[in-house]
Amino acid sequence: MTSPVTLVASDLDRTLIYSAAALQLPMPDAKAPRLLCVEVYDHKPLSYVTEEAAALLVELAGSTVFVPTTTRTREQYHRIHLPGPAARFAICANGGHILVDGESDPDWQRTVTRRLADECAPLAEVRAHLVSAADPAWLLKERVAEDLFAYLVVDRALLPSDWRQELAEWAEPRGWTVSLQGRKIYVVPRPLTKSAAMREVARRTGATLTLAAGDSLLDADLLLAADRGWRPGHGELADAHWSAPHVEETAERGVAAGEEILRRFLQASDPRRPV
């Protein structure tokens, strides 16, 4: 008899891994948890987990199909070195790429390309609108990710409060969605979702239970598609008071929420394990 398979699809940034600015360590310095650097960029440490979270990640990778699931590009994802064995599957570019042993799966690429061509306005049109509508007074950078979606890096203090909503209203009839995360405004094709990629990995692995976690509006579809989900007590979803019957909010915020989420994953995959 085949053993049940649990698939864990988790967002990374501000869910499992944290920049120095996102750690949110309210305790005195002497009581702060020891940290492990999991990402270096431009010769500088960039992202961290606690040492306890590192041990939990190793345990999780050994007992489930752990699938890092991120809006990052493939290049940005490959900068991260999580503790434990390398994940067999990973989801990048908000579902635009499924990596299998580190390489993008060509069948999934073809599926995504077909869906975007059938259901969305072209990226060039969206990018042109972004460039023309943005104000140089608050626009810091304009980028395209994997030729799939676009994003702006902005000065949040100068960004008009209604600009994101106006952009969303323009994008919606064209089949695109808008999400504001920190200093980045993402404009993403509606069919480009983490949930679709998660379902495909679940199909390939024969998963009988799917668990998910994420902090941003781009993670909402992933959380809704999973059998159980968790979101941190911080982030875009928390700010929007987003909820679903099978999705729980962590008691912790910041890097401690990453530890809590990992414990919840392990307990849900093996109810005999203490929380």
Kindly state the tokens that stand for 210: 């799917």
Domain count within the chain: 2
Indicate whether 274 belongs to any domain: no
Query: Looking at the structure, do residues 21 and 107 belong to the same domain, yes or no?
Result: yes
The reply to whether 177 and 264 lie within a common domain is: no
pLDDT of 274 strictly over 70: no
Same domain (yes/no): 12, 78? yes
Is 82 in the same domain as 210?
Answer: yes
Contact 219, 94 (CB under 8 A): no
Q: Residues 210, 83: one domain?
A: yes
Structure tokens belonging to residue 128: 């042109």
Q: What is the pLDDT of residues 240-270, one digit of tens each?
A: 999 999 999 999 999 999 999 999 999 999 8
Please list the alpha-helical segments (H only) found in 30-134: 51-63, 74-77, 106-119, 123-133
Same structural domain, 235 and 211: yes
Do the domain assignments include residue 1? Answer: no
24 and 147 belong to one structural domain = no
Which CA distances in Å does 103 have to 88, 98, 198, 206, 211? 10, 8, 16, 21, 23
Please say which residue of 139, 162, 189 terminates a domain: 189
pLDDT tens for each residue of 108-147: 999 999 999 999 999 999 999 999 999 999 999 999 999 9
Strands 209-213 and 184-189: unpaired
Domain for residue 99, yes or no? yes
Domain-located, residue 247? yes
d(CA 151, CA 245): 31
Same domain for 108 and 224?
Answer: yes
* 17/94 same-domain check: yes
Residue in the structure block whose two tokens are 């979702």: 193
Q: By 3-state DSSP, what share of the chain in percent is helix, strand and coil, each rounded to 5?
A: 35, 30, 35
Residue 17: DSSP 8-state? B
pLDDT tens-digit profile of 62-104?
Answer: 999 999 999 999 999 999 999 999 999 999 999 999 999 999 9
Q: What is the CATH number of the domain that holds 217?
A: 3.40.50.1000
Judge whether 157 lies within some domain. yes
Given a contact cutoff of 8 angstroms between Cβ atoms, the answer to whether 159 and 134 are in contact is no
pLDDT confidence of residue 271: 77
Q: How much is the pLDDT for 29?
A: 84
Residues 6+ apart with CB under 8 A from 53: 16, 36, 255, 258, 259, 262
Domain boundary residue among 154, 171, 189?
189
Nearest to 11 by CA among 207, 221, 153, 189: 221
Q: Where are the beta strands (DSSP E) in 117-263?
A: 139-145, 149-154, 176-181, 184-189, 209-213, 228-231, 247-249
Residue 91 lies in a domain: yes
Cβ atoms 187, 130 nearer than 8 A: yes
Which domain range does residue 89 map to?
A: 6-113+192-269
Give the pLDDT score at 239.
Answer: 92
Instruction: Take residue 233 and report the two structure tokens written for it.
Output: 């007590």
Same domain, yes or no, for 25 and 107?
yes
pTM of the model: 0.93
Q: Is residue 275 part of a domain?
A: no
Residue 53 placed within a domain:
yes
